[in-house]
Structures are given as structure tokens and as C-alpha cells.
Structure 1
Amino acid sequence: MPADAAPTSSPPAGPTPPGAGLAPADLAAAAATLRDDLAEAGFTVDGVERVLGPVAAAALHREQAVPARRALRDRHGDPAAVLATLFLLGGEVPRRALDAALARTGADGARRLGLVEAAGAGDDDAVRAVVDLRPYAASDAAGPVTWWLSSDLGELATGRRLAPDHVLGAGGASLTLAQVTVRTPVGRVLDLGTGCGIQALHAARHSRAVVATDISRRALGFAAFNAALDAPVPADGEHGAAVELREGSMLEPVAGERFDLVVSNPPFVITPRAAGGALPEYEYRDGGRAGDDVVRDLVTGVGAVLAPGGVAQLLGNWEHRRGVPWDERVGAWLEEAGLDGWVVQREVQDPAQYAETWIRDGGTTPEREPDAWAAAYGAWLDDFATRDVEGVGFGIVTLRRPLDGGRPTLRRLEERTGSVRQPLGGHLAASLAAHDWLAARDDAALAAERLAVAADVTEERFHAPGAPDPTVVLLRQGDGLGRAVQASTGLAALVGASDGELTVGQLVGAIAALFEVPADDLAGELLPAVRGLVRDGFLAPAP
């Protein structure tokens, strides 16, 4: 927003989602034409990078538009520059420029789709975007995708706070969820709280049916347009699904149904419920519950719609309350759910950091609106104080219904705040499979197996100056969660010799003879560690 612009206290509701009112066949045809035009115009992630340059592109990712506007001001004839000016920066372009950039759709077609509005019918009359339309490129566990996504224009383009019914595009949380989701081909997928539809689009590539729900009718409208525009291609040549959209809150629209995979980027933001009007409520992030109840209720309730063996993956926040370890509190949710559970905490913010993050997210800053900023900040801190909240965790929750209806066997809560190798979905799927493989084998059966070290595993040895033997041996994982395991000399020797030729038991026996220790004692030390290495992908059954 320009420095001299007055903030809008009550932003107007957003525009009608693109494609609204068109018959399905007409929407499909118009979307296919637009898709071809966008591709031919070079309006892709790489194309935008090209016209902006690396400095302006990086600044735009930080929501700073000045470098991008400077980079584009003299590129009126470049179709990608025209579309970036229009849809990414909220700038106006002449009708003739849009007609040239979208060769078949043209300004009139874009207007009929609900993407733009024009000041007039003349070639030089200004056209401006009424929705955000931007290229999207990502890789999930099923491979790379290149799409375009529509959503509501953001604060950078409109210069005002977000509207309460704002439909968000694909942000960092959306990309994270898409990358960590298991992409094993399945029958039915549920995208709970679909928003603009990005998770449903990813799921449609590896499933036979996708149901996407949202409480926001506007969000479902954007999701419908995006599904028509991107028409996801099956990743395996066999699966591939249309997206069925349903309106409703949380699990209500699918009560009594069963799904093989549930994905959700729910409205998990912890928002003060008694703020006295100090805080605008945003549908995309505020689930209307106190504290972290939205995430708790989803964790404890999603099992009702999971088929046997079905997996649910979601993002969430949880409160760290004074005197209660976070893993104990969230672990109680897993116990109540009665499902296999694996929670990875990726970040922790203190109450002040958390408040600042989400006040700014809605478009309020202390520079422009000091009174509104202070009121919202105080409301958040007061709310946290009522529950003795010392911090807020953010992370990934993976749940699974046991196949045989028996008791859960997986209960894992850990903190991994370092960098990870995305996409992570394949690693998580392999770890779940390894857990099942291990659960079926006691120590005797494990000792009879042949294992091989994973290709991404390296060994690091640290020596004191002049010492012949290492003081520390680390096994480091280059893929997945990037774990590092401190290994004893015996474990390092076993991993180093794990090439699939000898069984675990044979290796333990050989190492025991070399170290001149009882084989049974060494097995008691090494077999639990071997289980951990198999579970985490350092070792795997030899082919």
C-alpha cells in the first residue's frame, strides 16, 4: 500500500470466482484455450523469472513490488511481462497488449471468464485484473507439475487489507503439504478445506476419485476454475480423477464415507476468540475454535472417514503450555484418535512472534495502522496468557488406520527444525512401510535378513589430534529428514559391511569375533539400533 493511502477498515467482499455462471462444457473449452495461451506467452515460473531478473523476482517473493515494477516498465511487448504486470502486480495494461499476450482468449475472453475488467472497448483502454492468476511449479512424490492457479488478489496488488472471505493462493504451507504427502496410487482422496484447490489437483494425479470440501463457497468456485484450467494429467498413466466439490464444515460433507488418503491444510491459526473486534476473521485461516482445538478435533476425528490402511496428512499448530511437554499434549490427541501417529514439529514461535506473523498476514502493519496493530497484538498476548501458552509449534501430522483394525503400533513425536530434502512424501511412505516390515519381525527374524546401506548415507569420523581412533562416528542421511546418527564402533562396522551379501546375524557374529566380545551381548546392543536405521531409511532390505 502506498505510504499515503488510507487503510480500509472493512475490506469489501472479493469478486465472483472466475468461470462462475459458465456451463461446464463452456468452462472446460475456455479454460483449455486460456491454458494454451498462457503457455505460449511464456507465463511460467521460469518465464516470470526471465522477465523480472533474479533480483526483482526474489524481491517479489518477499512481497516487495518496486523492483518488479521497474523491471517490467519498459517491456510492453513481452507477453510474459504484460501478464506479470496485470496479474502479479495489479497493474493496468492496454487492451491491445492483453489481446496480443493471450492470442486466442483476448481481453474479451478474459473478461467473460471473470479474470479482468476493462475501462472500455478501445485498443488503448486500460484493463486490470480482478483476480490473481499466476504460474505454479512444484515437485511432489509423484513428479513435477506445471500449472496456473487463480485466487483473490493479495495486499500487494490491491493496497488494502484482505477481505474476510479472501481465497488464498498456493503459499508456503500449501507447497509444504503437497511435498510431504504420500503419493502412492489410491482409490479415494479427501482434500479437507481445499481453498483454491491445490491439494486436490495434486491428488487427482494418483487417485481414482477426489472429493474436495470447504466451508467457503467462493473458495470452491476458485477450485472449480483451477481444476478446469489445469486438468491434471495422471502421474502413472492409469489413475487420474475429476475433482468433486462439496460445501460444508470440516468432516460434515463426507460423514459416513471412507477414504484411502485425507489431506488437509486446515484453518489452524490460533486466533483470540474474545478480541472485542480487534481482529478481522479470515475464513482461510480461522477455524472459529479456541486455542488449537481445530487441529485437535481433526486429529481425533479424522479416523471416522479413513478406510483400513488409510492415511491422513495435515499441517497444524499446537500450543506449548507451561509445565506440559508439547509431545505429551499432542501425544494425548493421538491416543484419543486410536490411529498410528507420527508428528514432526518443524518450527516453534514464542507468543509475540506468533502474533506478529499473523497480524501482518492479514495486511496490518505498525507503520500504517499503529492503533489496530497494538489492539490486535494485545488481544493475542492476552489470549495466550489465559492458557499459559509459552510457545506455538508448527508441523506435519501423519495418521494411519491399522489395516486389521487392531491397536496402533506407531507412536512417534519428534522435532526436526533443520533443512529437509523435498519432496518428502516418498521418504515418509518408505518409513511407514519400513515400520510395518519391522513390526512383522522379532529380533531373530531381523537377524536372518540381509540389509543394504542406502545410497544417500555418508559417514563422518572425528578424531582428536594425534589419536588413531575416532572419538565420534556420525552416519548422515542426505535425503529425507537429513538425520544424523551417532554410531558406536560396532554399529559403524555393521553399516559399513551391509551390502546385502551377509545377514545381520552373520555380520554381528563377525564383528563380535573381531572385537572379542560375546555375540549375544553385541546383538543386544546393535539390533535395536539397526531397527532405528531401517525405520529411518539408512538401511533397507536387500533386493
Structure 2
Amino acid sequence: MTEPADRIPDLRSDLIAAGLTVDALTELWGEEAADALHRGQRIPAERALAQRQPSALATLARLFVLSRPVPRDRAAAALPTLGIDGAETLGLVTVGDDTVSAAVDLRPYAFVDAAGPAEWWIVSDLGELALGHALPEDHVLGVGGASLTLSGLMLQTPVGSALDLGTGCGIQAMHAARHARRVVATDISARALRLAALNLALNEIDGVELRLGSMFEPVARERFDHIVSNPPFVITPRSEGVPAYEYRDGGMVGDALVASFVEGCGEHLTPGGVAQLLGNWEYRGTGDGLERVRTWVDASAAPLDAWVIERDVEDAIRYAETWIRDGGTRPGTPRFEQLLDAWLTDFDDRDVRSVGFGYLLLRRAEGVPTLRRFERLHGSLGANEAGLGVHLGEALAAHDLQAALDDDALSRLRPVVAGDVTEERHLWPGADAPTAILLRQGGGFGRVVSADTGLAALVGASDGELTVGAIAAALAQLLEVDEDALRRELLTAVRGMLVDGFLRAPSR
């Protein structure tokens, strides 16, 4: 008897033959229609398709990307190997008398990472636009904004083992498989694991084991070199009538799920292993949200290095509105108002005034933690074609390097200014000396450092030939200042410039 999984190679064959790729879709309906589609508007793409000659690509695009029914004969022609019966067996379509409709969303996904460009097909559940109503609670999300953020942040250093906690459609496990020899992916949703299995097989990705369960229960007493998680961190009222979406709601009160992850992940990391996740944290009363995260790190049974970056803060009302809309409930309806009232009541119970969102990088320390960085980086990032993961990996390595050097050893370092660093000088008209010197980073987090004359000169002289000590000595003589004092000041600045990527240590 043929099993559904046996038909996946037939599906792959048909998708290849049709040429279902990101570039092909953009060419099919144009960049403006593609942008509109990202905003949830299908009409421009549909109008563009109406001007095209029928083709397998156009049929599959209409069926699976736009979630519009197509004539049965065209569906059969677009899936000649799999056939309509095979598509129905895989749960991809529902079949009427004369038409075929999508039962899932199936679309190409392209990306670039440290290993280079790649493209996959991703199957997920139909969204609100296709359904025409609020999402069901067992909805399995496709590749959304949070997924893209986490995959871009993912460290790409080769490791033996990785864990994707809360895998959903499997996208993070698939990314992790590009740098880990073995991957375990877990989820509380059996449906999510079925779709993840389909995506892994469709894209011929091996070495991923799927397990059902909540949080770290499926991997009790196991340790991993790398843990990634886009957990169900959304703060949801524990009130009757409020939907608990599996893809975003972990069933805990407030931000307790993220706290639980932070406090428990160290027990599942190998020494030096890294956990990366997205999360929310509450600002309660006059308290600080990042300080709440610090207490979670301190409560870990295993010693943790921590680098936590807050990217945004929303007031309680806007936060509630965002996630009610995300579930498919439209503003201005009685249902929306009912849910908003429940959310705000829940926030009032804990005196929550706003909610922070950001990235957490946690590393199991092999001794006393040396990295404790909690910062706010609201606003735009630098240009990072292969994602921030490469920059984060370099930053960790630079932190470890400078932490291992005392000031004398650091003064013998011969740094090189990074290629993406530019300098701005601001002067009053007619003035000889600048009133401000800004060092700008083009990649990484797009940081801007306000520098004095000494630091700007040191960065400018960092060509890999001169040591920090030699540059400091020359600058002290030029500026007519105390050499020891300037050296201490510059060494402190160099440590930060190395970690942030403005300066690089020479290759060994």
C-alpha cells in the first residue's frame, strides 16, 4: 500500500518542473504585486496572472500562493506526476466537481546564509486572508517576520547537535541542519510536526528528529551545542473565551514562558553551548523590563553568559491590538472589543504598562560568566546580507579573545579597522577642530560611536601593522597628554570596539 510520504518525491518533481521559485513568482506578477502580496493584498497578483498565458507555474501560484481555486484540468496539468489524487492524499488540496482548492499554503522561500544562497518550498496552514475568518487554535504558521528574524540571528558555526524548541512548520530546524550534524525539533502540536516532516522530506533535509512535547520535556537529561527557539512567547490572557493559539501561546501567565526557558536552558546546553531565542518581557509598574530578564538569567541553575538586545517596546494597548489582529479578529467588531478588554484586564492584574521584544543569546559558561550585556537597540540595523548570525558569532569570538587578554597583552594586539566602518566629522563653519566625530558601522547592528580625537585616530591607524600600545604612545606625544592615562582609556575603548566589530583582531 502506498503511504502518503511516498508521494513527496512526485510533488518535488512537479514543483521543479513548474519552476516554482521566488524569482519566478516575482517575474510572473511583478515586484509591485509581490510587495502587495506581502501586505496581504492578492488582487494585484491576480490581475497580473489574468494577463498571462496559462502555465503550470501560473496554476500553482494561483492555487497555493494566492489560495484561489483553479479548474480541475489545469490542476491536473500542473501536477502531472503527483496528480490530483496524490495531492489530496498529501493533504494539499480539496477537490470539488470542477475545481481544486488549496488546503494548505505552499510557497518558495529563498535566503542567504554563511553557506551561500539556497531556496526551499515551505508548507504551512492557510492564513486569515485565505480562510476569510479568524485562525483556528491549532494553526501552523509559515515563514513570518519572527521566523525570518530568528533564522537571520542564528549562529552558523558548525556543531555536533542542535535543538529547535517549538519548531512549527520546521523552518528553524531546517536552517539548523545546515550547520549541525544532528538536529532534534520539538513542538506541542502534532499537526505542526506533521507539516515539519513534510517540509523536511520535500526539501530532502536529513538528520532531523521530530518529537512531541512541551518545552524541554521531550529532551529531558539531553544536552545540545546549539538551541534555537521561536517559542510561543506571546502574552495571552488566561481568560475564558480568549483563543490559545498553539503557535504563539505557551499556556503560561504573562512572560513566564520566556522566564522558564531562560532559567532552564542552561541544563540542556553543553559547556560553551549557545541558546538563541526571541521573547517578550513585561514592564510592570515602574520596573524595567530588561532588569526582569537579568533576574531570569541570574536564576539559572547553570552559569550563563548573556547578551540580551531589546529591539522594541509597545505600550499595553498597542500590544494587545497587534496580537488580536494577528489571530484574524478585525478591529471595530464586538469580538475585537471583547478580546481587547480581556487583554487589558490581564495587564492591569499585573500592573503591566508596556511589553518589550527582543533577542536573547545565552551561553553555558565554563566557569564564572564573563558576558553580561543587556542593551536597547531600537531602530534600524546595519546591512547584513547573510543575516546577523555571522556578526554575532564574530562578536562572541572577539569577546572571548579580549576577555582572555590583560591590558599588557591587549596593548600588543595589532587591530585592523573593519571594512564597513566610516567616519563623520561635524564642524562649526570656520572652525578648525570638529565638534563631533562619529564612527558608523555599515553592517552588524549599525552602531554609531561618538569618538574623541584619540579614539578616532587610533581607529584610523589600525591597519594591522601597529600595536595598540605603539599607537597610544604616538598619540600621547602628538596630543601632549599623559601616555599611561591615554593608554588605559584607549584600551578600554578597544575592548568594546573589538566586540562590536569596529576593530578586528588580526588573523592568526
Question: Is 2:283 aligned against 1:320?
Answer: yes
Deviation at 1:221, TM superposition (A): 0.2
Candidates 398, 408, 431, aligned match of 1:467: 431
Per the TM alignment, residue 112 of structure 1 is displaced from its structure 2 partner at its CA by 2.4
Supply the distance in 2 between the matched residues of 1:300 and 1:194 (Cα, whole angstroms).
Answer: 20
The equivalent of 1:487 in structure 2 is 451
Q: Does 1:407 align with 2:368?
A: yes
**2:19 aligns to what SS in structure 1?**
coil
- Range that drifts further, 251-260 or 32-41: 32-41
Letter in structure 2 aligned against 1:321: R
Partner residue in 1 for 2:201? 228
Residue 429 (structure 1) aligned with residue 393 (structure 2): yes
Distance 1:492 1:502 in 2: 15
Deviation at 1:74, TM superposition (A): 4.2
Aligned-pair CA distance for 1:118 = 1.8
Note the C-alpha offset of 1:371: 1.0
Per-residue CA deviation, residues 424-473 of structure 1 (Å, 9 max, x unaligned), is 00000010111100110011110011111011111111111110111111
Letter in 2 for 1:97: R
Deviation at 1:109, TM superposition (A): 2.4
CA distance in 1, matches of 2:196, 2:180: 18
1:7: which partner in 2?
Answer: none
Aligned match of 1:282 in 226, 245, 249?
Answer: 245
Aligned mates of 1:111, 1:68 — CA distance in 2: 26
1:214 & 1:22 partners in 2: Cα distance? Answer: 27
The number of residue pairs the alignment matches comes to: 502
Please state whether the residue corresponding to 1:77 is helix, strand or coil: coil
The alpha-carbon deviation at position 36 of structure 1 amounts to 2.9
Counterpart of 2:116? 143
Larger mean Cα displacement after TM superposition, 416-425 or 521-530: 416-425
Amino acid at match of 2:462: S
Secondary structure of 2:415's counterpart equals strand
Alpha-carbon distance in structure 1 between the residues aligned to 2:116 and 2:348: 45
Partner residue of 1:519 out of 483, 486, 491: 483
Is residue 168 of structure 2 the alignment partner of residue 195 of structure 1?
A: yes
Structure 2 counterpart of 1:541, one-letter code: A
Q: Given the superposition, is the C-alpha separation of residues 461 and 112 from structure 1 closer, same or farther in structure 2, using an over 3 Å criterion?
A: same
1:4 maps to which residue? none
Are positions 1:80 and 2:57 aligned together?
Answer: yes
- Aligned counterparts, 1:357-368, within 5 A: 357-367=322-332
Cα distance, 1:117 vs. partner?
2.2
The AA in structure 1 aligned to 2:184 is V
Q: How is 1:232-243 mapped onto 2 (pairs within 5 angstroms)?
A: 232=205, 241-243=206-208
- 1:66 offset after TM fit, Å? 2.2
Gap runs ≥5 in structure 2: none
Q: Could you tell me how far 1:254 is from its partner in structure 2?
A: 0.1
Amino acid at match of 2:132: G
1:76 offset after TM fit, Å? 5.6
Answering whether residue 11 of structure 2 is matched by residue 34 of structure 1, we say: yes
SS of corresponding position for 1:187: strand
What secondary structure sits across from 1:486 in the alignment? strand
Aligned to 1:333: 296
Shift of 1:22: 6.2
SS at structure 2 position matched to 1:501: coil
* Contact 1:204 1:243 (C-alpha < 8 Å) held by counterparts: yes
Which stretch shifts more, 103-112 or 484-493?
103-112
8 A Cα contact 1:89 1:156, kept in partner? no
The SS at the match of 2:264 is helix
Picking from 34, 40, 51, the partner of 1:63 is: 40
For the 8 Å contact 1:138–1:175, the answer to whether it is kept is: no
CA RMSD of aligned residues (A): 1.5
TM-score by length of 1: 0.90
Q: Against the structure 1 CA distance between its residues 447 and 79, is the aligned structure 2 distance closer, same or farther, given a 3 Å change threshold?
A: same
Quick check: 1:76–1:82 contact (8 Å CA) kept in 2? no
Aligned counterpart for 1:44 among listed residues 21, 31, 56? 21
Maintained 8 Å contact 1:76/1:97: no
Q: Which deviates further from its counterpart, 69-78 or 190-199?
A: 69-78
CA positional deviation for 1:356:
0.9
Q: CA deviation at 1:72?
A: 2.1
Shift of 1:67: 2.0
Structure 2 counterpart of 1:111:
88
Distance 1:129 1:53, change over 3 A: same
Among residues 351, 376, 388, which one is paired with 2:316 in the alignment? 351
Identity of aligned residues (%): 58
Match of 1:252 among 212, 217, 239: 217
Match among 383, 400, 407 for residue 346 of structure 2: 383
Q: Is the 8 A contact 2:422 2:441 kept in 1?
A: yes
Secondary structure of the residue aligned to 1:434 is helix
Once the two structures are superposed, residues 151-172 of structure 1 have per-residue CA deviations (whole angstroms, 9 ceiling, x without a partner) of 1111111112111111111101
Q: Secondary structure at the match of 1:334?
A: helix
Match of 2:159 in 1: 186
Residue 277 of structure 2 corresponds to residue 304 of structure 1: no
Structure-1 separation of matches of 2:44 and 2:317 = 31
